[in-house]
A = this chain, B = another copy of it.
Amino acid sequence: MSKNPIVKGKLVCVALNDAEQFNAMQAEFAEAPYKGAPQQPVLYFKPHNTWSTDGAVVEWAQVDGSPAEQMVVGASLAVVFGKECCRVSEAEALNYVEGYTLVHDFSLVEQNYYRPDIKGKCLDTSAPIGADVVAVADPQALTVVTSVNGTVVNETPVSQLVRGVAELISTISYIMTLQPGDVIAVGFPGQRAPVAPGDKVHSVIDGVTELNNTLGQ
């Protein structure tokens, strides 16, 4: 498995942070098992074995020893921490950021957002992280554009997220300390893009960085 030189401690991902998706799910949230929209950010981890790099081939998932029928991908702006960040206010949150990059989250198709989907999310090499960590004055002004085999499949302005970058950093910093080399992927498009073996996935944030990966066979 490839290593990644940027993420050192933990890669925290925020699910359900696309406002379009969040609003579209209000009826579903009213029913079981949710019985109400989440009041807090819905977090998951991509562990050590998932961390991969720009240019890497992402392994096609095996499920119970057989190739997965389907995988999906989403891209997110990623916050890379430069300083230890514990219980900080939204106003001071961005002071702890070293810079920004991109994360691809490859996974199995998500069943729902209630049960923790360890099996679908912890696939080896399924979290490539961009090579550049870039200082940005206003992360809310950025847009993440993802293409599969040259066709744009998602275009997500960071301003479309339910919770913005500074709010997320503040909230998460009250749950767990963020350390230098920790990364938060702030939000993925609600509609993950289906991918097939051999597909080429390209994401870009204009003027900041880009991330290229190929699916294995």
| Least distance between A114 CB and chain B CB atoms (Å) | 6
- Chain B residues with Cβ below 8 Å from A175 are 118-119, 122
| Least distance between A10 CB and chain B CB atoms (Å) | 4
The answer, yes or no, to whether A149 is at the interface (CB within 8 Å) is no
**Which listed residue, B45, B65, B178, touches A45 by the CB 8 Å rule?**
B45
Report the interface size for chain A: residues with CB under 8 A from the other chain.
Answer: 34
Whether the pair A48, B122 counts as a contact (CB closer than 8 A) is no
Whether the pair B86, A124 counts as a contact (CB closer than 8 A) is yes
Complex: how many Å from CA A32 to CA B87? Answer: 35
Complex: how many Å from CA A44 to CA B43? Answer: 12
Complex: how many Å from CA A122 to CA B116? Answer: 15
Whether the pair A9, B114 counts as a contact (CB closer than 8 A) is no
Most buried by B among A10, A64, A124, A176: A176
